[in-house]
Amino acid sequence: MKLADRFVDLATRPVPLRTLFFRKLLQRFPIGSWEARVRAGAVQRPHYAICLRNAAWLAQRLGYRAITVVEFGVAGGSGLVCLCDYAAEVRRAFGVELRVVGFDSGEGLPETHDLRDVHYMWPAGSFEMDSGALKARLKGRAELVLGNVADTVPRWQPAADAPLGAVMFDLDLYSSTRDALQVLTKENVLPRVWCYFDDMTGSQETALTDFIGESAAIREFNDDPARRTMRDNLARARVFKSAAPESWHERIYLYHRLLHPQYDLCLSAEKHQLELAAS
């Protein structure tokens, strides 16, 4: 992007330039708690951080000492490294350990023949991984599961003492996202699982709609006859009240397991009450 075009983009964003400036400053010189910086968006990949923060908060109140966090579509590996880097922050803030797992074919996007896979924008072989370099960078901080998610997800289970708490979906294609969504049907999950879908929105050239790509996979997941009884559901999170909404807000989804034994456990220590205002 040309410098002049970059200026136009920054100057006309909903988020004020002063906010962007202070976010960058706080990333370079972090002060205050990690939670405060997450709420302010002053962290790397705030969409990942908010999912981790909320999953760990829930796990702490339900009495779990660890949770599993998954990224689908590792590609270059920067996102997986970011999740690993946040593990220490989550431990300090909530006393909850993160077990990080990355799923990827290792060979880039697969060749498919489903018209919903947006291959007009993302050709097969895109986002190939340098698995050797990534494993050296991770140094055992994360589990890397290589192979087609249609094969690897059915065989994988979260650790017994670390229920699934957050999932980052960045598989680009309808078919791969459809297969990856089956991770939410695993038995050992939190009653509410925070999810981020990277490709819910795009450019005019991407031309995304609700009937192709990740959106189509989500529609199909929710339309499964087993979900029509409202036992579980995946839907966009309605939790952001910012006067300056950001693009990633609408990519945060929540999976609700309504028949989870802890689903209706009250997390508030005290009853909520409003005082009658003086006349």
Each of the 279 residues of the chain gets a pLDDT tens digit; together they read 678 887 777 667 777 777 787 788 888 888 888 888 988 888 999 999 999 999 999 999 999 999 999 999 999 999 999 999 999 999 999 999 999 999 999 999 999 999 999 999 988 999 999 888 998 999 889 999 999 999 999 999 999 999 999 999 999 999 999 999 999 999 999 999 999 999 998 888 899 999 999 999 999 999 998 777 778 999 999 888 776 678 888 999 999 999 999 999 999 878 888 888 887
* Burial status of residue 40 (CB atoms within 10 A of its CB: 0-12, 13-18, 19 or more): middle
Q: Is there a single domain that holds both residue 157 and residue 232?
A: yes
Q: Is there a single domain that holds both residue 131 and residue 13?
A: no
* Burial status of residue 214 (CB atoms within 10 A of its CB: 0-12, 13-18, 19 or more): buried
Q: How many domains, in total, are found in the chain?
A: 2
Q: Is there a single domain that holds both residue 14 and residue 100?
A: no
By the 8 A CB rule, do 51 and 45 touch? no
Q: Is there a single domain that holds both residue 86 and residue 186?
A: yes
Return d(Cα 164, Cα 266) in angstroms, integer.
Answer: 20
Return d(Cα 108, Cα 160) in angstroms, integer.
Answer: 31
- CATH number, domain with residue 232: 3.40.50.150
Q: The tokens of 127 are what?
A: 């986002």
By the 8 A CB rule, do 200 and 206 touch? no
Domain hosting residue 1, numbered range: 1-31
Q: Is residue 278 part of a domain?
A: no
What's this model's pTM, rounded to 2 decimal places?
A: 0.91
* Burial status of residue 244 (CB atoms within 10 A of its CB: 0-12, 13-18, 19 or more): exposed
